[in-house]
Structure 1
Amino acid sequence: MNLETLAARLEALESRAAIESLISAYANAFDRLDPDLLRTIWHADAVLDLPGFGEGAGPEGIVAMAHNSWRKMPHMHHWMANPLIRIEGDVATATVAADCLFHDIEKGPVQVSGLYHDCFERRDGQWLFTKRRFELHFLTPLENWKPIAGSETFGGI
């Protein structure tokens, strides 16, 4: 194997790791109600589109949209799975399955499942989201659901 091939393989692995970290940071930012972390994963012209939940443009618009979501759903837990990532130079796309448990202040505990459609770009050597759109598969109220162990701060349940 020559050095060019090895360098290309290393770049592909580093890009994939950076994109997977962005996907994880998104879930952690929403679950921990962390606007500072959420702000760091978007390019200035990025868009987050969560049909039925809100839309935001640019890091500050996305954080503002998140604050609205956090008021309505003060507890969130995202599981991100099966990232199918395609990288072509400095542009990448991905689909990511999501299963989420939310405590909605009006509906109570709900399970939300769907698929994220993502776009990323590497600018000035840094991968960040340019677009993230959620495709809702289902939202299911979890009637009579109560945790029997865990944090007492779990959304006031």
Structure 2
Amino acid sequence: MSESTQAWVSAGVRAVIGAHTQAQDAGRTDDVVALYPPDGVLELPGMDPVQGHDALRAAFKGWAPTQPQQHLVGNTVVTPTAEDEATAVSDVVFFQRGDTGWTVQVVGRYEDTFRHIDGAWLLQRRATTYQA
């Protein structure tokens, strides 16, 4: 795979991660769901996998922010596995603002699989683990 293809894959994957984070923190459920293909999967500890647009929409709607929140995602390592597929591993810290200010709620890691479908990078699978 050429260096320019690797850069293109990495830029596309990072754009999806950023768009997902900002849409989720703003409570824009439909924007989050649009970043997954129809058979996309979200895996969270202690829950059955959430698969498909209807299930993802219901889940993210249920998690819509009721107070200011911020997912800070970093240390992302993107690995292209083909011209139309990639994986990424990112660290995430979830903050919420309450009466006493901002507090860390969760520290974790995303292990993502992406596919390039119909001209767009989409999040095929996100597996989340919690560190603390």
TM-score by length of 2: 0.84
Which structure carries more relative contact order (alpha carbon 8 Å, separation 6+)?
2
Q: For structure 1, which runs of at least 5 residues remain unmatched after alignment?
A: 139-157
> Retained in 1: the 8 A contact 2:93–2:104?
no
CA-CA distance at 1:126 after TM superposition: 2.2
> Retained in 2: the 8 A contact 1:56–1:64?
no
Give the counterpart of 1:35 among 25, 29, 52: 29
Q: For structure 2, which runs of at least 5 residues remain unmatched after alignment?
A: none
Corresponding residue of 1:142? none
Corresponding residue of 1:82? 75
Provide the rounded CA distance (Å) in 2 between the counterparts of 1:54 and 1:68.
Answer: 15
Give the counterpart of 1:26 among 20, 25, 28: 20
Corresponding residue of 1:151? none
> Retained in 1: the 8 A contact 2:29–2:64?
no
Corresponding letter in the other structure for 1:18: G
Any idea what the Cα deviations from partners look like across 1:22-81, whole Å, max 9, x if unmatched? 11111111110001211221011110112247752122321210111226x543210000
Provide the rounded CA distance (Å) in 1 between the counterparts of 2:87 and 2:58.
Answer: 25
Answering whether residue 79 of structure 2 is matched by residue 68 of structure 1, we say no
Give the counterpart of 2:94 among 86, 89, 100: 100
Matched length? 128
Q: Percent identity?
A: 25
